[in-house]
Amino acid sequence: MNLSLDNKKLKELMKDFYTLTGIKMVLFDSDYHEILSYPPGHCAFCAIMHGNPVTQKHCIECNQNSFEYCRRNSELTVYECHAGLIEATAPLKDNGIIIGYVMFGQITDVANREELVTKLENVCKKYQIYQPGYEEAFSKIKYKSREQILAAAQILEACTFYVLLKEMIYLEKEQFLHKLNQYIMRHLSEDITVKDLCDAFKVSRSRLYEAAKQYLGVGIAEYIKQKRIEEAKEFLKNSSDPITEISEKAGFSDYNYFCRVFKKMVGMPAKKYRKIYQQDVTD
């Protein structure tokens, strides 16, 4: 989903988080695209990981797995990434709808530096990318105790509520409607399911229903039906196609059902609607 951002305030908050914790914070949208981070760029070790196509793919998959966990469980997660570093991800929820994710990472909970170097050497050797000199990159990874990591994760989660409270990031009604309407129009003649919409919006069924309640005022199925009837009206106005064909174009596989719905919503049969409109145009 598209987001509206107050970049200045978000950067200030990320900088404050980094000043307090010494940990990088990153913001992603609901489609898993990185939007903003502080500090920008990767630490030396993660730059190595992202600089190789194979390990970069694993980094992306690891991030996506954490986002999927947040989406399914609607809660913070702290975990070890594929490269052996510690990360945390928290969902950004606007009125119960997940509109993005905040993450921190590129730190370690291994206090013994020799043990850490050995661990990361083995990771690089596993992916067959180890080169002499990587030890310097390993040594620059910041250590945080488990207690510090969990405390930082709680602060990260608190930040998600704060940025929404201060309207640093939000999903506008118009943006939601625009994306929903675009999807409906692209698939007008097809059977549109709630699952299809959940996949398109990267949200759960319950979150989609909540968005519909907040932004549409009616249920998803009813809204789709309304859009289909609106398009059927346009077809009736601007074409001479048989009404049976128009009903199919508007996404109604059952002509009799289309006739009942059209009459109920418009207040007259489709045939009469076309006749009245065309008469108005000729007059």
Give pLDDT, residue 2. Answer: 60
Q: Say whether both 127 and 204 belong to one domain.
A: no
**Would you say residue 101 has pLDDT above 80?**
yes
CB neighbours (10 Å) of residue 34?
12
**Would you say residue 133 has pLDDT above 70?**
yes
Q: What is the pTM of this model?
A: 0.64
**Would you say residue 23 has pLDDT above 70?**
yes
- Which tokens hold the place of 89? 């991800």
Q: Say whether both 152 and 194 belong to one domain.
A: no
Q: Say whether both 135 and 178 belong to one domain.
A: no
Give pLDDT, residue 42. Answer: 93
**Would you say residue 72 has pLDDT above 90?**
no
CB neighbours (10 Å) of residue 210?
17
Q: How many CA atoms lie within 13 A of 40 on its CB side?
A: 3
Cis peptide before 132 (omega within 30 of 0): no
Q: Are strands 169-170 and 24-29 parallel, antiparallel or unpaired?
A: unpaired
CATH code: domain of residue 272: 1.10.10.60
Give pLDDT, residue 166. Answer: 84
- Residue 189 vs residue 119, higher pLDDT: 119
Of 146, 170, 194, the last residue of a domain is 170
Give pLDDT, residue 112. Answer: 95
The arithmetic mean of pLDDT across residues 75-95, rounded, is: 93
Number of domains in the chain: 2
**Would you say residue 283 has pLDDT above 50?**
no
**Would you say residue 246 has pLDDT above 90?**
yes
Give pLDDT, residue 240. Answer: 87
Least confident of 1-5, 49-53, 122-126: 1-5
Which residue segment(s) compose the domain that 209 sits in? 173-282
Give the angle 14-63-53 at the CA atoms, nearest 5°: 110
- Residue 88 vs residue 274, higher pLDDT: 88
What torsion, rounded to 10 degrees, do the Cα atoms 31, 32, 35, 38 define? 160
* CA–CA distance, 120 with 106 (Å, rounded to integer): 12
Contact yes or no for 125/49 (Cβ under 8 A): no
* CA–CA distance, 68 with 66 (Å, rounded to integer): 5
Contact yes or no for 156/144 (Cβ under 8 A): no
Q: Say whether both 150 and 236 belong to one domain.
A: no
The percentage of the chain sitting over the pLDDT mark of 70, rounded to a whole number, equals 94
Give pLDDT, residue 138. Answer: 94
Q: Say whether both 83 and 137 belong to one domain.
A: yes
Closest CA to 55 of 31, 88, 84: 84
Chain centre to alpha carbon of residue 205:
14
Q: Say whether both 149 and 12 belong to one domain.
A: yes
Contact yes or no for 24/105 (Cβ under 8 A): yes
Q: Are strands 142-143 and 97-108 parallel, antiparallel or unpaired?
A: parallel
Across the chain, mean pLDDT equals 89
The tens digit of pLDDT for each residue in 28-62 reads 988 889 999 999 999 999 999 999 999 999 999 99
Q: Say whether both 100 and 233 belong to one domain.
A: no
**Would you say residue 214 has pLDDT above 90?**
no
Contact yes or no for 203/98 (Cβ under 8 A): yes
| Helices within the chain (DSSP H only) | 7-21, 44-50, 53-73, 113-126, 134-139, 146-165, 173-186, 194-201, 205-215, 220-238, 243-249, 255-266, 270-282
**Would you say residue 95 has pLDDT above 80?**
no
Q: Say whether both 28 and 147 belong to one domain.
A: yes
Length of the chain, please? 283
Closest CA to 1 of 91, 104, 103, 105: 91
